[in-house]
Structure 1
Amino acid sequence: MSSFHKTLDSRTNIIGTKLKNNFPFVSSGIPSLDHIVGGGLPTGAIFAVEEDVLGTYSRVLAKYFLAEGVVCKHDLFIATADENPQDITKELPQPCTAPTEDEVSAVSGGVDKMKIAWRYERLGQVESSFGSNTNFGHHFDLSKHIDEDTIKQSSITYCDLNSKHESVKGFKNPIYFNLLARIKETVSKEEYQISSKNKNILRISIQSLGSPVWMAMDCEDYGVSSSYGQDLIKFMFCLRTILRDTNAVAFVTIPAHLFEDDHIMKRLLYSIDNAVRIESFAGSSRETNPVYKDYHGLFHVTKLSAIYSLVPFVPPSLDLAFKLRRKKFVIEKLHLPPELQETSEREQDDITATPPVTCGGFKKKDIDF
């Protein structure tokens, strides 16, 4: 028991974390996402997001993850080939100080509360939005950005993948090997080790891993073949090995819809601990469908692993949808509207579908039951 107490005390002094099964968990910056994956992102693990077609919402999730690290004074490691990594930190959202819209409506609605039937008073309220009552994590305002002075004071490592890379053994594309070498060099520092006294969390953000830009860089002798998927799978396995038993968390976005081979993502999931997929309504027929008018897309849970436990966490519901507001990203249970509004087309169909006058002289719509 004495060794247990020593281990417990050594893990509780990390800012911006909470203990679960005696291991630190960090917030993703979205309380509803933390609730769905089991209370947060575990250290030493990989969290992957399958990007939407336009990549809009996956970038927002990555910004929330990095902004939460800046607020909690965690160290950041940013790697991307699609843009300059320093441009990402210029657009990190600022934490909200004012109460959210839901809190304001709840306070105003508590004064003039409608009296309901006595048999329903003791029933609990149905919670469609997850993580609304938690104190873990922050809400951020996308319309405001963190100031430059705060970014400069933060410990951020930028990994420029646009530089020239030399060929290496083991990878057809040297960009994967060089990124692994930079991550291993950073993670091996003493403050990211579990046994260290002055510990801190390292948040690793890899955006659009395996996109066509990665394949086009430094790949004159690199043909588009099955070896492209082999590099991705090998990279993810090595990354998982490097992060194990450390105080580092990897947040990786993957454009799986651009892969020609559907089996690549399935094999990547073997090395990924937790994974979700974003299905946006933008550009699809569902965008104008009145059934989904309250949401911006569907949120799919692809994989939840049993990390530091015997069984994996089971979310309260798998039928999930999301909507992006100015001050928060909300994941809710998918609720269909009870009745769609009558449209002019619907009324016209009813008129044309009315049966002819019967021998009694009455029409079907004139009969009142």
Structure 2
Amino acid sequence: MSFRKRGIVVPQAGPGPGSPNPLGRPNPIPGSTAAAAIPKHPPGTRPSPLDGRLTTSTGTRSLDALLAGHAGLALGTSLLIEESGTTDFAGSLLKYYVAEGVVQKHTIHVLGMPEGWGRELPGLGSGDDGSKGKKVKVGEEKMNIAWRYERLGEFGATIGGGARERNFPQSTPTSSSEPAIFCHDFDLSKRLILPSPSNIHFIPLSAQPTLTFIDSSPSLSPFTKFIHHLTTNLQNSPPTTIHRLAIPNLFSPALYPSHTSNPTHILPFLHTLRALLRKYPTRLALLITLPLPLSPRSTGLTRWIELLSDGVLELSPFPSSAIVAKPAAASTVSEEPPQGMVNIHRLPVVHEKGGGGGGGSGMGDDLSFSLSRRRGMVIRPYSLPPVKGDGEAKEEEGRGLEVGGRRVRKGDIEF
């Protein structure tokens, strides 16, 4: 029988480098080839919870939650956002998508827009909404809990391990160990400061030289310059660089020449983009916005564009006369009035199981959206507001009926 002084922690030999792990395989030695082989995801990406392929954020949390259960836009896929009416909610989603790429230091390629469009991207939110109150609440809860139960459930923590808790201070997370942010919060009232040099490339559509007043030839495709630029950048960039493609307001007469909608130009262009997405499934993502008043879904060309896209969403804003004013006491997201409906025509399903077609993806629900300055675009199930007459009827029922100068309630009536 051996004697040992109480209060001294017995050193435990943990699994060192080269020692076998529970699976019977030796742990990788730091600096060795096996340790270097552990995959590290590029910034702004994470594996899908369904099949493990890399996904990136669209800049809108509620939109990420809709994309077939992948909790983000899977790399190597495209998303088409259609919008009916004269509003530009789809353009706001596209700006969030580009702003998220700027913050994550991705390479962004924007088709047809001038450089001034990049100075209109929303800036990062302050992040002070409720954070102070949460910190105070957490501090109060810690004060009410005994110190020996704080680490209950953590690895190596025991209820009776008082000496271990006192002699060894708890490790605080450092900046290197903090998890990276997958989706940031943006504020529409602020402007994003672009880095210098900027990682956004604005590619014009014109096939003619600049400072010329000659109309471009209908036989020349206006997308040739964009395809050449994109192919060159993908071949010359490192394999860990994430590229985001943004095509705003397809077929808009303010940006595109009239012959852009010619099927001999747009269909080969979309086929080429689809081929590049399949060739670089871990480096490339695409988001397109299409105004439906200019290209209705009843036309064959729009149907072809939908078939060549992996995911198709439609935004249907309410008329201005149907928007209900927000109550003065409303302060939560659920009380914000919806500004339109969201129709899911197809989701980017990228594996044989079919993705999240129901449940959390909202495929079977009526979805609505609302755009606010600080919370951005919020997509949630749609529910009708309570009818004013119901509340008045309940109040009248609670007051009862006045019979013979005396008020009689429902409970006082006997049969």
2: CA distance, partners of 1:100 / 1:275: 33
* Deviation of the 1:173 alpha carbon: 5.3
**Are residues 263 and 153 of structure 1, via their aligned partners in 2, closer, same or farther at CA, if it must alter by over 3 Å?**
same
2: CA distance, partners of 1:30 / 1:268: 24
Partner residue in 2 for 1:350: none
Partner residue in 2 for 1:181: 228
| Alignment pair present for 1:298 and 2:341 | yes
* Deviation of the 1:167 alpha carbon: 7.5
* Deviation of the 1:63 alpha carbon: 0.9
Contact 1:305-1:313 at 8 Å conserved across structures: no
Partner residue in 2 for 1:240: 274
2:118 is aligned, of 84, 89, 108, to 89
* Deviation of the 1:204 alpha carbon: 1.0
Contact 1:93-1:141 at 8 Å conserved across structures: yes
2: CA distance, partners of 1:254 / 1:327: 25
2:183 is aligned, of 137, 149, 169, to 137
| Alignment pair present for 1:205 and 2:272 | no
1: CA distance, partners of 2:294 / 2:252: 7
Q: What's the TM-score once normalised by structure 1's chain length? A: 0.70
Q: Secondary structure at 1:212's aligned position in 2?
A: coil
* Deviation of the 1:105 alpha carbon: 8.5
1: CA distance, partners of 2:37 / 2:383: 43
Q: Which has the higher helix share?
A: 1
Partner residue in 1 for 2:59: 29
Contact 1:30-1:64 at 8 Å conserved across structures: yes
The one-letter code of the counterpart of 1:332 is R
Deviation track 1:109-168 (CA, whole Å, cap 9, x = no partner) reads 999xxxxxxxxxxxxxxxxxxxxxx96311111111112xx4324322110224627989
Deviation track 1:10-54 (CA, whole Å, cap 9, x = no partner) reads 753311100123421100011111011131111121111113422
**Are residues 73 and 335 of structure 1, via their aligned partners in 2, closer, same or farther at CA, if it must alter by over 3 Å?**
same
Partner residue in 2 for 1:265: 302
| Alignment pair present for 1:335 and 2:383 | yes
2: CA distance, partners of 1:71 / 1:153: 14
How many residues are aligned here? 303
Partner residue in 2 for 1:279: 316
1: CA distance, partners of 2:81 / 2:132: 32
Deviation track 1:218-253 (CA, whole Å, cap 9, x = no partner) reads x6xx5x9xx724533332122111221310111111
Which 5+ residue runs of structure 2 have no aligned equivalent?
A: 1-24, 26-32, 141-179, 210-214, 327-334, 394-402, 411-415
Contact 2:207-2:225 at 8 Å conserved across structures: no
Deviation track 1:201-222 (CA, whole Å, cap 9, x = no partner) reads 011111111223455x2x6xx5
The one-letter code of the counterpart of 1:23 is R
**Are residues 9 and 207 of structure 1, via their aligned partners in 2, closer, same or farther at CA, if it must alter by over 3 Å?**
farther
Partner residue in 2 for 1:120: none
Partner residue in 2 for 1:256: 292
Q: What's the TM-score once normalised by structure 2's chain length? A: 0.63
The one-letter code of the counterpart of 2:310 is D
| Alignment pair present for 1:100 and 2:129 | yes
Partner residue in 1 for 2:396: none
The one-letter code of the counterpart of 1:257 is P
Matches within 5 A, 1:158-177: 158-162=202-206, 164=208, 172=219, 174-177=221-224
**Are residues 288 and 13 of structure 1, via their aligned partners in 2, closer, same or farther at CA, if it must alter by over 3 Å?**
closer
Partner residue in 2 for 1:320: 367
User: Cα RMSD over matched residues?
Assistant: 3.8
2: CA distance, partners of 1:140 / 1:293: 18
1: CA distance, partners of 2:268 / 2:325: 41
2:198 is aligned, of 142, 154, 167, to 154
Partner residue in 2 for 1:15: 43
2: CA distance, partners of 1:322 / 1:108: 32
Contact 1:210-1:232 at 8 Å conserved across structures: no
Q: Secondary structure at 1:251's aligned position in 2?
A: strand
Q: Secondary structure at 1:151's aligned position in 2?
A: coil
The one-letter code of the counterpart of 1:206 is I
2: CA distance, partners of 1:299 / 1:109: 36
**Are residues 214 and 73 of structure 1, via their aligned partners in 2, closer, same or farther at CA, if it must alter by over 3 Å?**
closer
Deviation track 1:52-106 (CA, whole Å, cap 9, x = no partner) reads 42242111111101111111111111112xx52x1121011122232336x7898
State the percentage of identical aligned residues: 22
Structure 1 runs, 4 residues or longer, greater than 6 Å off = 103-111, 165-168
